[in-house]
Amino acid sequence: MSTSKKVFVKTYGCQMNVYDSERMVEALGSNGYEQTATPEEADMILLNTCHIREKAAEKVYSELGRFKELKVEKPNLKIGVAGCVAQAEGEEIMRRQPLVDLVVGPQSYHRLPELESKLENGGKSIETDFPEEDKFTVLKNRPTGKRAPSAFLTVQEGCDKFCAFCVVPYTRGAEVSRPAEQILSEARNLVERGVREITLLGQNVNAYHGVGITGKEWTLARLIWELNYIDGLHRIRFTTSHPNDMADDLIEAHASCTKLMPYLHLPVQSGSNKILKRMNRSHTAESYLKLIEKIRAARPDILLSGDFIVGFPEETEEDFEDTINLIKEVKYGQAFSFKYSTRPGTPAAERAQIPESLKTERLHRLQDLIAAQQREIQDQMVGRTVRVLFEKKGRFAGQMVGKSEYLHAVHVTSENVAIGSLESVRITKSKSNSLTGELI
């Protein structure tokens, strides 16, 4: 085993990619790699990519172009593309950008050590099959060193829902849940290393149905209850959920599981039943609103977050207004919104498209509304006492930054707060993207 090689990883896309990047660095550790934050220092550059929208995918090629000079200076520099663009485009990436040495999909990165070894003699490596073995079973145990107080943990991956706009079922493959034992042992490892908050991840995390430690299938709620018993773990979150998988036991957990935080990301995409149907979402605006009502009955202070697509094929002004009305009814504390982007291989890409200018106009209208709601909910925090998990130092001397239960960023100025500590803070001020408070 050689030592002291360095890998620079750049991560695009969703939180699952953030988690995967961490595991890729760990996997490359067995080939003697350590992570570096500077590409100039790297022996290997790895882009962990996202294919969800056209812009996301195109970014990869412009980023790759920027490494051309580095590769001239350092001919031994290896350049790899991982993640969802790797899965979707495979060897096409090497055709379009010949300086790429390695392409690896999201389900096969446990093979990175092998793939990297093949590059030694100037070879190229590509691995985008969905392998028979499960990557998490093959990957080694997590390391033991201290780490940041908040961590992601993938519990479910892939998707069988095939929304008409979405590439995820193709890039991540079929829906798979990890066994509970694997997850719990990983969670214990994280907590021993200083983690106080775990966000469980899945493309449809609430569809989790892994084998429990009793051998029976567990729901996400059952898994959360088990994590609730881990001493030293203070907070549990999960993302992303699908409305159709929001089971009663999960809603109930929001009412009674003390470590489960009052925040829920529950994308609806559109408020028009016609569009929802065309999107193959298998829920209606009404069923979504009913669900929100049920969730709020269980946990009245829950902060709701969502995703919206505007300008989906055949979206009329009336359909768009249905979305606006749904937003007005729900009142989101946070939301992500996107112009519909045609994705190769998805059903909606074949349909008649809405003009770009109309998409832009609708996006602005929607985002103005969301911004106002977000601001209003954030402003209501002033005067309240929240619990803050401190994650890092702020920009100013003595300033510390953490997150409230509701995922608002909170700043305090104090010499007495340690990273990883959970403190009561009275909110004194609401700024554009964060809150300011005082320790109690």
Total residues interacting with ligand SF4, rule: CB under 6 A: 10
162 near ligand SF4, judged by CB under 6 A: yes
Task: Select the span of 137-145, 163-171, 189-197, 361-369 touching ligand F3S (CB under 6 A).
Answer: 163-171
d(CA 56, CA 88) in angstroms, rounded, equals 13
For ligand F3S, the binding residues in 35-64 under the rule CB under 6 A are: 50-52
Tokens 């050590």 identify what position? 113
Task: Select the span of 74-82, 155-163, 209-217, 249-257 touching ligand SF4 (CB under 6 A).
Answer: 155-163
CB of 153 to ligand F3S, least distance (A): 16
For ligand SAH, the binding residues in 281-320 under the rule CB under 6 A are: 307, 309
359 near ligand SAH, judged by CB under 6 A: no
- Other beta carbons less than 10 A from residue 280's beta carbon: 14
Contacts of 72 (CB under 8 A, 6+ apart): none
Q: Which is nearer to ligand F3S, 83 or 313 (CB)?
A: 83
Instruction: Give kind and range of the element (H or E) at residue 177.
Output: strand 176-177
Contact characters 79-118, ligand F3S, x per CB under 6 A: ----xx----------------------------------
285 near ligand SF4, judged by CB under 6 A: no
Task: Select the span of 141-149, 219-227, 326-334, 339-347 touching ligand SAH (CB under 6 A).
Answer: 339-347
Among 11, 17, 49, 203, binds ligand SF4 (CB under 6 A): 203
Q: Which is nearer to ligand SAH, 323 or 373 (CB)?
A: 323
Closest CA to 176 of 138, 139, 135: 135
CB of 291 to ligand F3S, least distance (A): 23
For ligand SAH, the binding residues in 127-186 under the rule CB under 6 A are: 165-166, 168
For ligand SAH, the binding residues in 254-283 under the rule CB under 6 A are: 267, 269
CA angle (89, 93, 98) in 5-degree steps: 165
Q: Which is nearer to ligand SAH, 179 or 243 (CB)?
A: 243
Alpha helices (H) along 110-200: 112-118, 135-138, 168-171, 180-192
Amino acid sitting at position 387: R
Residue 93 tokens, joined: 């990436």
- Can you give the C-alpha Rg of the chain in angstroms? 22
204 near ligand SAH, judged by CB under 6 A: yes
199 near ligand SF4, judged by CB under 6 A: no
d(CA 345, CA 281) in angstroms, rounded, equals 18
d(CA 136, CA 139) in angstroms, rounded, equals 5
d(CA 380, CA 366) in angstroms, rounded, equals 22
Is 13 within 8 Å of 83 (Cβ atoms)? yes
d(CA 340, CA 309) in angstroms, rounded, equals 6
Tokens 């790297």 identify what position? 42
Binding site for ligand SF4 (CB under 6 A): 159, 161-163, 166, 168-169, 203-204, 242
Residues forming contacts to ligand F3S in the complex (CB under 6 A) are 13-14, 16-17, 50-52, 83-84, 167-168, 171-172
